[in-house]
Chain A
């Protein structure tokens, strides 16, 4: 259920007609994260952690690009 000034029809059409890039799980700075490709870079989509500090870690904020040399495959 929405409470927004965006017309639901617009939002629904957007969701139906746009493909969300497939996320990839990896280990970055000892945390499990999901990244999405953006050009040649990877952008953090979300963090999977029970460590609270991870959510305040500047380098792990969703939207930030990761240093590929520090990325480990899961």
Chain B
């Protein structure tokens, strides 16, 4: 078990959400959690940069959020997928879009691998 991640990470393509990762992503995840409030979603849409500054995000985190780089936020930034999904309410992306990006595919490519397409929150 790694001291850095709290897990052996032996499952390919998997970054188990350990306490250590949660600690690394605390500000990022708190920022995403704050989007549960409608007034915060509006504030973010008005001025994303200022909103993220208020949440104390690092320039790396801000850059990745604006680039919608969920892969980096999860794999390196300690992002919880359940928290990052809340960004979808302001970017108009559903879970399948976040997933496709993490797999390095377009949403269309990803959906071709699915049995049935369902409408999600987005």
Co-complex (A, B): no
Residues of B within 8 A of A (CB): none
